[in-house]
């Protein structure tokens, strides 16, 4: 199986299809984490001293910074994992294929856990921000 090939064909085996779907999924995870990185940088920028004091929560900035570091770490892990998947083409038996499929499930759980924690942090932030600002509408 050509690992960079992602198009699924009728003649592909079930295992080939699984590997291709996993590659597509991995690409999506990486793209999503890159977007989260941008979003975190914006949130960190918003959480300057003025906002942190208005929220009466100095830890929110630190928590976004920590989540940013965790996001960077997971991105690096997934990039390394992506490079290791090139060896899937060398699999000659089902056991080898199952090792890759099982490994992918482990990365999926890590990604989903990270995503859940990030969403909870962001929801908590927006709950605190909600109602703290008065929208100025100079046009009347």
Which of 60, 130, 88 is closest to 4 using CA atoms?
88
Please give the average per-residue pLDDT across 6-10, as a whole number: 77
Residue for token pair 């198009």 = 7
pTM over 0.75: yes
Which of 48, 1, 54 is closest to 23 using CA atoms?
1
Please give the average per-residue pLDDT across 64-93, as a whole number: 94
Q: Which pLDDT score is estimated for 1?
A: 34
Residue for token pair 């570091």 = 69
Classify burial at 42, counting beta carbons within 10 Å of its beta carbon; exposed 0-12, middle 13-18, buried 19 or more. exposed
Residues in the chain: 140
**Cβ(26)–Cβ(85) below 8 Å:** yes
Residues 135, 82: Cα–Cα separation, whole Å: 45
């Amino acid at each position: 199986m050509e690992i960079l090939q992602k198009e699924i064909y009728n003649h592909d085996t079930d295992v080939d299809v699984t590997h291709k779907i996993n590659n597509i999924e991995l690409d999506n995870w990486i793209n999503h984490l890159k977007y989260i990185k941008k979003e975190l940088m914006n949130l960190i920028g918003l959480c300057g001293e003025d906002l942190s004091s208005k929220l009466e929560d100095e830890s929110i900035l630190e928590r976004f910074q920590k989540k940013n570091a965790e996001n960077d770490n997971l991105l690096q892990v997934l990039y390394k994992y992506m490079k290791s998947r090139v060896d899937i083409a060398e699999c000659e038996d089902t056991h080898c294929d199952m090792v890759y499929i099982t490994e992918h499930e482990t990365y999926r759980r890590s990604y989903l856990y990270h995503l859940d924690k990030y969403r909870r942090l962001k929801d908590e932030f927006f709950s605190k921000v909600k109602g703290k600002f008065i929208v100025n509408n100079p046009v009347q």
